[in-house]
Structure 1
Amino acid sequence: MATISSPGIGSGLDVQNIVSQLVAIEKAPLKQLETQATSFKTKLSVYGTIKSQVSALGDAAAKLSTSAGWNAVTSTSSNPSAVSVTAAAGAAATGLTLEVQQLARAQSTASTAVPTDSAMGGGTMTISLGTWSGGAFTAGTGTPVNITINPGQDTLTAIAARINEAGAGVSATVLRDASGERLLMRSSTTGEANGFRIEVAESGGAGLSRLAYDGSGAGMTQTRAAQNALATINGVAVVSATNRMTDTLPGLTVQLSQVTTAPVEIDVSIDPEGARKNIQTFIDAYNALTKTLADATRYDPTSKSAGALQGDGTAVGLQNALRSMMRSVTASSPFERLADVGIEAKSGGELSLNATKFDAALTTNYEGLRQLFTVANANPTSQGFGLKIRTFAQGLIDSDGVVSARSEAIQNALTRNGKEQDKVNDRAARAEVRLLAQYNAMDANVGRLSGLNAFVTQQIALWNKSTA
């Protein structure tokens, strides 16, 4: 911005104020542009909310469009402290009798006591995983792990740390009592195939052999043998390396915690409350979107205020399309309309759930209720409500969907508005420079004329005085 040191000093005019007012006239279009920009930003924000809510409605409908959304199950155990069961969605409804004869365990060993913090002899410990049977060890497919022990330096604490860092399939800790300290080792995983053998090759001092375990009784002592879990399901024997059976029964996870003395009854049944929850989520998502559209397109004659999208064709069209879709029919039977199962439209366009009607459908014709949302049909308008609304919602928010396109159009208009504001500000800045230069020149000229006038007046006064 160009300035002058003392504008108006020559002419006596308030040049700065005059220029400011003229520049304000140049900036007059900014007011309308700023108002438009605020409107664009508000619309863009509302469309962002609409897009998010359409996505939520699509997700809720998608959950109801497949059998998985209706196959929520509940599971119970007659003795959960001994056997607990978790059922995944889609697990078959069934009843089972389960007995536990043996729990899976990990192999454990303990060394003899040595003085606390005393250094052990050096050498190499080789740890192999495999199966013990009758005192004989059969190595598994894994590669044995060698651990080097420094003679006269490594204590049991240091050795335990080396074992834990080696990733050999076993864990180690040090137990201290009045006798000194012992090395305790345990398989990282339960099951007969995860037993372990420890071979020791001493070098640089004796003593490391006390940490060997080969099943002979020399070196470490086995405090617990590795074993599998043994159980019967409906009288059929099953074996598991762990107490958590995830693949034995499709869709069920069974946790064994105690050996049983009586059969445990397991019951898996369809959970209607899961479907009710999914339906309510769908209704809530639809109502949230409906309210946003209603508020955004509403005109209040009392306050004479309009919503951000009042008169917006895309918003009004979306509102009408949603209402029409909720009144449509499907190719399912015996329920064809949402109202048939108690999902009813209120006067404001939102949905409500008639609990009595819905519960009747839920308890007496669960399959018919499911078909109302999942039935597939060659005619898209006759598909189940889950399918048609999922497809409709996805089409709205895809990159070329109407909601995305409208948001992009508003964003483009906002960008153009910003460029127009920049142009106005640029013109005003150039006008201010030009006006200040012009008024500065005028002020200087007036100052020179005023000085000349004073000089001429002085000379005339002197001339008149000399001729008097």
Structure 2
Amino acid sequence: MSTISSPGLASGIDIKSIVSQLVALERAPLQPLQRQAATAQSKISILSTIKSSMDNLGTLAAKLGDPKSWSGVNATSSNAGEVAVAASSTATAGRFTLSVTSLATSQAAASGVLNAVGGLGTGTLSFSVAGGASRDVEILAGEDSPAAIAAKINSSDVGVTATVLKDASGERIVMRSKETGASNTFTVGVAGGNADGLQKLAFGGGAPGDMTQTQPAANAMFSIDGVDLQSPTNKLTDTVPGVTLTLNKVTSAAVDINVATDTEGMKKNIQAFVDAYNSISTLLTTATAYNETTKTAGSLQGDSTAIGLQNALRGMMRSVTGNGAFTRLADIGIVAAQNGKLEVKADKLDAAMGNLSAVRNLFTSDDGDATTVGFGLKVKTFADGIAGATGSLNARTDSLKAAVTRNGKEQERVIDRAARAEVRYLAQYNAMDAAVGRLNGLSTFVNQQITLWNRNTG
């Protein structure tokens, strides 16, 4: 908008004030357009929140609709410090006792003091683990110190690790097989090197050397319910199907292992679903309500999409599956409160969980009949339809975004009209001021002539 710097010099009229008021009239349609745009943006924002909440509800409903969510088990140990336990969904509920006599160990051997002057010598170390093929580690000039040899063994895939120990007498190398178990013994052959250096690392297989076994390779020895068993590792993954047992210590007493159906986890999934529903319910109620205290309407008051969604959700939660011992959510303690939210009656849900298959069926039933489909699948399908790419929430949001775009263009037109009107008004009033100036000049000239005429004729 152009700046008006002064009133009309000739006419004395405040052109700036007049033009400003006329331009303000031209811009008057902007205010309702801006209010409309703000209202539409508010609706877009709340619809986005509702869509996100519906997606979350659908995700939690899908979890309840998945039979795998109802097969969870929980495993406990009476002494996890000695025997830790974890169970997968394939585990069978049950109890047993476990006693550990000895843990699985890996073979270890230590060399004597390595005192070769100027290095341990170049050569080849040949490793064989569990009677397998030999794997060589070449020791070259400049890497024949104890530390360099240990580092090269550790960086090679030979199935053995090495550590350097140092005391007042000198340095030693300790080797250990990477795997535990009686079969995982190792041998070390040496070719080349110094007699007082590299050759001292020969071990096992009748090879002369200075390596002494410090720990034998051994299986874990344990018993389950009195049955003696053994394992090459301390982590038992297939001894009891679906159960992983970690042997940490020799047991001081028999450890009780209990594998039970994880009903607490299942109830948490149900509560999460209820909480997600209540979040949407509160959101829709607030967005569509009129606050008598503040005299303000919610962003979506009267919005058919929001009202329809709220009614559909409430109706769905009261619907019947028509299949199984439990056919309604209320049958397992999920009831509707007066404010439209859902409540979980803990005592009733606990009692219902005694018939776990019926509770599972209430959420997972899928026999192809829309009237008997489980609540988990039913709500998931509904949520996908509402919040999906072609759902009503996206359609309503797209409509509002289009309205905002049109509104923006209309605001631009109003602003453009006002700018052009300002130029026009300024031109008109400046022309008027110029005309008044000319007339004032003419009037002055005439008055001067009359004065002169009167003087000459007097």
Do both proteins adopt the same fold according to a TM-score greater than 0.5, normalized to the shorter chain? yes
Alpha-carbon distance in 2 for matches of 1:454, 1:113:
127
Residue 358 of structure 2 corresponds to 368
1:241-261 deviation per Cα after TM superposition (whole angstroms, max 9, x unaligned)? 432223443322111122447
Alpha-carbon distance in 2 for matches of 1:436, 1:410:
39
CA RMSD of superposed structures (Å) = 3.5
Residue 37 of structure 2 corresponds to 37
The structure-2 alpha-carbon separation of the partners of 1:406 and 1:220, relative to structure 1 and needing over 3 Å to count, comes to farther
Residue 112 of structure 2 corresponds to 112
Residue 82 of structure 2 corresponds to 82
Q: Which runs of 5+ in 2 are unaligned?
A: none
Residue 408 of structure 2 corresponds to 418
Residue 134 of structure 1 corresponds to none
Check conservation: 2:128, 2:188, Cα contact below 8 A.
Answer: no
The structure-2 alpha-carbon separation of the partners of 1:441 and 1:258, relative to structure 1 and needing over 3 Å to count, comes to same
Alpha-carbon distance in 2 for matches of 1:104, 1:362:
41
Alpha-carbon distance in 2 for matches of 1:448, 1:170:
111
Residue 338 of structure 2 corresponds to 347
Alpha-carbon distance in 2 for matches of 1:282, 1:96:
35
1:159-201 deviation per Cα after TM superposition (whole angstroms, max 9, x unaligned)? 4444444455444443332223333343444345655554555
Alpha-carbon distance in 2 for matches of 1:448, 1:46:
63
1:229 to partner: Cα distance = 3.4
Residue 139 of structure 1 corresponds to 133
1:309 to partner: Cα distance = 0.9
1:310 to partner: Cα distance = 0.8
Residue 333 of structure 1 corresponds to 324
User: Quick one: which amino acid aligns to residue 89 of structure 2?
Assistant: A
Check conservation: 2:91, 2:243, Cα contact below 8 A.
Answer: yes
Query: Does residue 377 of the first structure (1) align with residue 367 of the second (2)?
Result: yes
Residue 17 of structure 2 corresponds to 17
Alpha-carbon distance in 2 for matches of 1:203, 1:9:
111
What SS does the corresponding residue of 1:109 show, helix, strand or coil? strand
Residue 429 of structure 1 corresponds to 419
Query: Does residue 253 of the first structure (1) align with residue 244 of the second (2)?
Result: yes
Alpha-carbon distance in 2 for matches of 1:214, 1:182:
17
Q: Which runs of 5+ in 1 are unaligned?
A: 132-136
The structure-2 alpha-carbon separation of the partners of 1:279 and 1:217, relative to structure 1 and needing over 3 Å to count, comes to farther
User: Quick one: which amino acid aligns to residue 68 of structure 1?
Assistant: K
What SS does the corresponding residue of 1:381 show, helix, strand or coil? coil
Residue 63 of structure 2 corresponds to 63
Alpha-carbon distance in 2 for matches of 1:201, 1:443:
114
Deviates more, 1:201-210 or 1:343-352: 201-210
Deviates more, 1:12-21 or 1:410-419: 12-21
Query: Does residue 184 of the first structure (1) align with residue 168 of the second (2)?
Result: no
The structure-2 alpha-carbon separation of the partners of 1:74 and 1:18, relative to structure 1 and needing over 3 Å to count, comes to same
The structure-2 alpha-carbon separation of the partners of 1:308 and 1:163, relative to structure 1 and needing over 3 Å to count, comes to same
1:463 to partner: Cα distance = 7.1
From 395, 416, 419, the equivalent of 2:385 is: 395
Deviates more, 1:385-394 or 1:154-163: 154-163
Deviates more, 1:311-320 or 1:323-332: 323-332
Residue 123 of structure 1 corresponds to 122
Query: Does residue 294 of the first structure (1) align with residue 288 of the second (2)?
Result: no
From 178, 183, 197, the equivalent of 1:207 is: 197
Deviates more, 1:53-62 or 1:298-307: 298-307
Deviates more, 1:254-263 or 1:63-72: 254-263
What is the TM-score when the length of structure 1 is the normalising length? 0.84
The structure-2 alpha-carbon separation of the partners of 1:389 and 1:466, relative to structure 1 and needing over 3 Å to count, comes to same
Check conservation: 1:332, 1:368, Cα contact below 8 A.
Answer: no
The structure-2 alpha-carbon separation of the partners of 1:230 and 1:437, relative to structure 1 and needing over 3 Å to count, comes to farther
The structure-2 alpha-carbon separation of the partners of 1:449 and 1:284, relative to structure 1 and needing over 3 Å to count, comes to same
1:405 to partner: Cα distance = 2.0
What SS does the corresponding residue of 2:300 show, helix, strand or coil? coil
Percent of aligned pairs sharing the same letter:
50
The structure-2 alpha-carbon separation of the partners of 1:145 and 1:325, relative to structure 1 and needing over 3 Å to count, comes to farther
1:12 to partner: Cα distance = 3.6
Alpha-carbon distance in 2 for matches of 1:182, 1:13:
107
1:456 to partner: Cα distance = 6.4
Residue 243 of structure 1 corresponds to 234
Check conservation: 1:114, 1:179, Cα contact below 8 A.
Answer: no
What SS does the corresponding residue of 2:379 show, helix, strand or coil? helix
The structure-2 alpha-carbon separation of the partners of 1:462 and 1:346, relative to structure 1 and needing over 3 Å to count, comes to same
1:294-331 deviation per Cα after TM superposition (whole angstroms, max 9, x unaligned)? 11111234543211111111111111111111111113
What SS does the corresponding residue of 1:184 show, helix, strand or coil? strand
What SS does the corresponding residue of 1:336 show, helix, strand or coil? coil
Deviates more, 1:280-289 or 1:1-10: 1-10
Residue 27 of structure 2 corresponds to 27
Check conservation: 2:120, 2:145, Cα contact below 8 A.
Answer: no
What is the TM-score when the length of structure 2 is the normalising length? 0.85
